[in-house]
Amino acid sequence: MVRIKNRYIVVRIVPQEPTKVLNFHDGVLTKCVLRNVKKYQGDYGLGIVEHGFRVKYCNERTKVAIIRCLHRSHRIVASTLPLITMIGDVRAKFHTLYTGATIIQCNKFIISHQQRFLDEMVGQIASAKERKDFIKRVMEFDLEQ
C-alpha cells in the first residue's frame, strides 16, 4: 500500500496589536495562505499547494493553528508564511513553531507549548472559577475531521 505523506505545520499567529482573543476561523486562514501563495509563488505554486491543503485546528485563545499540506509542497507553504503581513483584515504575522509528519506529534508539541502558555497567563487571573474555565478552554483540543 502506498502511503500519502503529509506535513503538518504548527504556527502561532502574532497580531501587531496584542489582543486576547482572535475571531478567526479556519476558512479565513485557508483563504489568506492560499491567496499569498498565489501572490508570491504564482499559479505554479498555487497548483502544487492547493491539493491537500487544509487548516486542521485553530485555537482562538492561544492563537495556535495547524496547517496540513502534502509532502514536497510544504516547502512552498513554509517559505510563504514569513512573507505574510495581513491575515483576514488584521495586521498579523505567522510564527512557525514546529513541522511534523503526523498529527499526533504536533499534538504532543502543542500540549507542552500550551502548558507553558498557561503558566504565564494563569497568574494574571484572580478568581478561581474563571481560572478553571480558562484552563478548560485553552486545553480543549478537538479536531474537526
Partner 1 sequence: MEQTKPFYDLCIPYQKDEKALREIIKEAISLGYKTIAIDQVYDHSKRDTTKRVPDIFPAPVTLKQLEEEFKSDVKILRRLTIIYLDVGVAHAMSNSQNLKKFNLIAGQPKTDAALTHCCTTFGGDLVTFDTEAGVKLLVNRKAYQIGVKRGLYFEIKYGPAIRDTNIRKDMIKLAHNYCVRGKSKNLIFSSGATNPFELRGPYDVANLAFIFGLSEDQGKNAVNKACRQLFLRAESRRIGKTIMFVKASGPIIFTDTSESEEEHGDSFREEISSEESEIDSQEQPSKKKIKIL
Instruction: Tell me which of 76, 90, 121, 125 binds partner 1, using CB under 8 A.
Output: 76
Min CB(11)–partner 1 separation in Å = 9
Instruction: Tell me which of 31, 44, 47, 83 binds partner 1, using CB under 8 A.
Output: 83
Q: Using the rule CB under 8 A, is 118 a contact of partner 1? A: no
Judged by beta carbon, residue 78 or residue 131, the one nearer partner 1 is 78
Q: Using the rule CB under 8 A, is 137 a contact of partner 1? A: no
**Strands 6-15 and 86-87: what pairing?**
unpaired
Positions touching partner 1 (CB under 8 A) are 16, 40, 75-76, 78-79, 81-83, 85, 91, 93-97, 99
